[in-house]
Amino acid sequence: MDGTWQHTTVLLNEAVEALVTKPEGIYVDATFGRGGHSRAILAQLAPQGRLIAFDKDPEAVAVANAIADTRFSIRHEGFAALRELQAGSITGVLMDLGISSPQIDNPARGFSFRSDGPLDMRMDPTRGQSAADFLATAPVEQMAEVIRDYGEERFAVQIAKAVAARRQERGPLASTSELAQLVAGAVKTREPGQDPATRTFQALRIFVNAELEELQQALSASLDVLQPQGRLVVISFHSLEDRIVKQFIAKNSREEFDRRAPFAAPKAMKLKALERVKPTADEVKANPRSRSAIMRVAERTQA
């Protein structure tokens, strides 16, 4: 594992029970993380079953490579790469969204304001633009838009102006503690028990990793790769993710009528919504990070 950084899988039993309907099937763990769901899925599979996992994080891939099971394979890619799988070949897709505890708890990854580290926030630190790179050059308007839209932060403009003033006076922000202190000075009020930097850090992480765009692409791809009666199981941790998942399932769970051809047969629905599950009180008590989780389950129709 990652030294002292451990991860407790959220809704483990509920997700695997909803996902694995045919032990001999082919399944996808679209966000391997530290493999809690993958190991539980493998425990339910028959000898001819298969599990394909995806993850951007090289540390997660290293953990996955230690699984000595011929039924299992890992791909060092984001889960939008689902679209590369054969159409109609998959029995179930699991997406456990958000961020794993080792990523949060390791200061070197730059995801958390609770300890000082480089201002990185990339799921894959070998690719793309870091949070520090973005904040070093982005115009005030773009920073404010990102922080407002992805963090639902009402002080986004004040924070963006503070970042711009800071880099003009003393150079760009380089560490998580510098950003957290700057945000604390710009945010005038905050909900009880919530750090002023919470929403800004969430926004930058989502933006840097293009999380919502990739989620939309992966959901769309799941319709193509799932076989009839195949399950889609998605665990989200904040309202922006859950709204996308909820709307996607709702849109594809109803017949579509073409207003230009009122007498034509409607397009059949592609999904059937099955259930919405939240962690039990016991799970939240044992793992407070699970408290915001929502799991939605849908099934691919025959269409």
Q: Do residues 128 and 205 touch, judged by C-beta distance below 8 A?
A: no
Q: Looking at the domain that runs over 12-102+211-300, which CATH code has it been given?
A: 3.40.50.150
Of residues 288 and 61, more confidence is placed in 61
CA 190 to chain centre: 25
At 221, is the secondary structure helix, strand, or coil?
helix
Q: What is the DSSP letter of 252?
A: T
Rounded average pLDDT over 192-220: 94
Confidence at residue 131, expressed as pLDDT on a 0 to 100 scale: 97
pLDDT tens per residue across span 173-186? 999 999 999 999 99
The predicted model scores a pTM of 0.90
- Give me the half-sphere count of Cα atoms (radius 13 Å) on the Cβ side of residue 220: 9
Give the domain ranges of the chain: 12-102+211-300, 124-208
> What percent of the chain clears pLDDT 90, i.e. is strictly above it?
80
pLDDT tens per residue across span 238-272? 999 999 999 999 999 976 655 665 655 556 789 99
Residue among 20, 30, 19 nearest 222 (CA):
30
Of residues 1 and 75, more confidence is placed in 75
Q: Do residues 80 and 221 touch, judged by C-beta distance below 8 A?
A: yes
Q: Do residues 130 and 208 touch, judged by C-beta distance below 8 A?
A: yes
Say which residue the tokens 């339910």 belong to: 44
CATH class of 124-208: mainly alpha
- Give me the half-sphere count of Cα atoms (radius 13 Å) on the Cβ side of residue 224: 13
Burial (0-12, 13-18, 19+ Cβ within 10 Å), 68: exposed
| Predicted confidence (pLDDT) at residue 303 exceeds the cutoff of 90 | no
